[in-house]
Structures are given as structure tokens and as C-alpha cells.
Amino acid sequence: MAPESSAPLLNGQPWLSIVGIGEDGLAGLGELARQAITEADFVFGGKRHLDLAGDAIRGESRPWPQPFDSAMLAILTLRGHKVCVLASGDPFFFGVGVTLARQLSKQDYRVFPAPSAFSLAASRLGWALQEIETVSLHGRALDLIRPLLHPGRKVIALTSDADGPAQLAKLLTEAGFGTSRLTVLEALGGAREKTRSTLASDFSLTGIDPLNVVALEVQAEATARVLPLGFGLPDDLFEHDGQITKREIRAVTLSALSPRRGELLWDIGAGSGSIGIEWMLAHPSMQAMAIEHHSERAARIRRNAQNFGVPALQLIEGRAPDALAGLPEPDAIFIGGGGSGDGVLQAALTTLKPGGRLVANAVTLEMEQVLLNAHSQWGGSLTRLSIDRAEPVGRMTGWRPAMPVTQWIFSRGLNP
């Protein structure tokens, strides 16, 4: 229940304040942020946040429930009362502010951000934020760091807990980046602030504060697993059983799919998952669903997604077209070279969004006939792709042709 002193808010007046607070507590807040805390009937936050702001809290303190309520129902039910939410640093940089904003209108809340852990770390190191990579590994898969590991680059990563730096050092060492320098910055902005540095392969730091970020100066060994930018990654980076869209064809295929930020791809008959994985590597906002009925290949897709740092790749185990039922509408669809017949193609075409693209490859005569029929009925473009590779012929070298690929590209118009 709300305190009896709570005054009703006028229509259109923000009822929620989101205050970013650092390890320096109230001392680091401006007057308006302090006032928002003091005037609130209810103040939400982690126990640490509530302790930092304790001297300013006059209303009821409410620690976050365990497990965390991502729907924020406890806050939303208090609409009309003065509510304050405390967050670490900048609430809109991997913070709780993003979660709240998705469920509220801009008129419902006001925000008082503080410097993020990334900003504080960059200022301590003298690094230009716009020239480095930043990633949150807090409550997220450590593998997300993998696409960022390019020699000579700098990365700042927010970890989940005191074990995060050691786990990150282990991943780097196993992936061939053991000579990279790790700087662990702990409890930034507070009395417990500490900075320590070591090579990943020599990591032995102990007593690390749970509040930490790790700054990486990436160095690669000869065996390092570097994931290049661009399409057409080497085939041997993927675990596969031969069911993989080969490197050169994959590059052409992804170019035809024309990835755009935030889009969803269906990879039907995903095999090793290579198309969906490279689609997701194009930008952090990309989404992909790999549809694969073969259980062993599905397991490989999971492992590949982990090793390429795209653990959010969604795997749908089933056979198309039945497995496509109920899936969110895609912006782009790829159907692999083995093909699944006219039924899959028809089902895919009916779900494609306006402005969406479909690319289908054929290596069999039967699937090629399906694409010829589709081209005749729907239009689009047909291309024949042929790759020859130099290989030994006795003690000499000759060209050995790979199976030719027929590729059909179709784009759905924006207007019906």
C-alpha cells in the first residue's frame, strides 16, 4: 500500500524517476536526482543501490525480487504514485531503463543518468570510447566476446561477477589470444576502486570485486581463432559433415540476401548453420532462425553458434514446411542447395514480409527444376555459379570443378 502522504499526480506528469547512481553514492548525484529519490513514495533497486542512497530515501525501499521480475509488474502496478528506480550508472546502456521504457510512454518517466562503467573505465585508461568496442557480458554468454577479438583492437567488457575476469582469461587463452593484456577495473568511482593488469595466459588475480569491468588489448597468436569481417568465412572454421554452403557460394548468397540491421532470417535446412551465423555476425541487431531436422546437424549448429559468438541464434528442430508454422515472419529466407521441394518454397514465399528477400540454391536437377518453375511463375533472377579449385593432379596441378549451383533470388514488393 502507498503511504498516506502520497499526493496524486497530475495527468501527463511523470510518475516514475529512473536515477543512475555510482559507487560514490549520493555525492555523485545532482540536486534533481537527489530530490527524485527523497520525494518518492517507493524506491526500487538492488540492495547495494538502496544502501548507497539510503540517507535520501524517505519512502518505502523495495529491493529487486529474486528471481528478477523482467516484466516490472511491481513497478507498473504503482502507476500514479511517485516511484523511483535506482540503477547502476547509465540506466539506458545495458540497464534497467531500457526494460522499463519498452513498457511505458515517454511521458511516464524522467531519467537522471550517471556515467556508465564503460565511460569510467575509458577515462581511467585514457581510451577514446568511439574508437573501441564495448560489450556487456553481465548475465549473458561469455561467447559474445569472440567476434570482437581482432589483433590490435581494444575492448571493454562488463562482467557478471568476481569470477568473470578469470573465465574471460580462460576463453582468450583457449582461443589463441593468451598474450592479450587484461586490465581489471574494480568498483569504479567508489572508495574500493582498484585497477590490476595481467596477460590472459598468466591470469592469477584473486579477491576481485564482483563489480568489475575488463579492458582488453587484443593480441593474437598464430593459432588464434580470428573471425574476419565480411562474408565468406573459411569453411574450416565451421564444424560440419560436408553439409555446408561453401565459402565462395556463401559469400554470394549472403550478398543476395542483403542483410539490414535488425532483420530476421530463416535458414531452412541449415546444415552447419553457416548462413545464419554469418548473417548474425553482420551486426549485433541481426536475428536468425536455423531450421534443421537432422539431430546431429542441429547439435553442430548449437556448437558453431557458440564458437562464433552468436549464442542467440535460434534453432528450430523439425522438417520444413511443418516446422515453419507459428514462427515470426522473416525479413529474409534462405533455402539450401539440397532443397526440400516445391512445398517448402511455396510455404516460404507465403510468409515473406513485404520488402523481404528469398534466396534458394540448387545443386540437384530436381531442386533446379523447382527454381526454374518458380522463376517462371514469380520472376526474380536466376544465376548459375561455378567454382573451380586448383588441386594436385599427380605431380602437377589442375583445375577441379565443384558442383555448380543454380541460385534463384526473389524480392517481394512493398506493395501487394
pLDDT per 10-residue tile (average), the chain, 416 residues: 43 88 95 96 95 96 86 90 95 91 93 96 97 95 97 97 98 98 96 97 97 97 94 95 92 97 96 97 96 96 97 96 94 83 87 94 93 95 95 94 95 70
pLDDT at residue 13, rounded to an integer: 82
pLDDT at residue 232, rounded to an integer: 95
**Burial grade of 27 (CB within 10 A; 0-12, 13-18, 19 or more):** exposed
**Could you tell me if 157 and 214 are in contact, meaning their C-beta atoms sit under 8 angstroms apart?**
yes
303: left (phi over 0), alpha (psi -120 to 50) or beta: alpha
The amino acid present at 396, given as its one-letter code, is M
Q: Is 172 helix (H, G, I), strand (E, B) or coil?
A: helix
pLDDT at residue 341, rounded to an integer: 67
pLDDT at residue 336, rounded to an integer: 87
| DSSP one-letter code for 244 | S
Alpha-helical regions (H) of 5-116: 31-39, 47-52, 73-76, 96-101
- At which residue does the C-alpha cell 508454422 appear? 325
Measured CA distances, 47 to 9, 178, 179, 206 (Å) = 28, 36, 38, 24
Distance (Å, whole) CA 166 – CA 162 = 8
Closest CA to 306 of 184, 147, 108, 116: 147
Closest CA to 113 of 10, 20, 26, 2: 20
Phi, then psi, of 90 in degrees rounded to 5: -90, 110
What is the crossing angle of helices 295-307 and 274-281, to 10°? 20
pLDDT at residue 243, rounded to an integer: 85
pLDDT at residue 141, rounded to an integer: 95
pLDDT at residue 3, rounded to an integer: 42
Using CA of residue 219, residue 287, residue 67, residue 45, what is the dihedral sign?
positive
Model's pTM, two decimal places? 0.87
Vertex 131 angle, CA 212 and 201, to 5°: 50
pLDDT at residue 251, rounded to an integer: 97
Closest CA to 294 of 279, 275, 280, 273: 273
Phi, then psi, of 34 in degrees rounded to 5: -60, -45
Distance (Å, whole) CA 398 – CA 416 = 51
The amino acid present at 89, given as its one-letter code, is G
**Could you tell me if 279 and 145 are in contact, meaning their C-beta atoms sit under 8 angstroms apart?**
no
Distance (Å, whole) CA 246 – CA 239 = 13
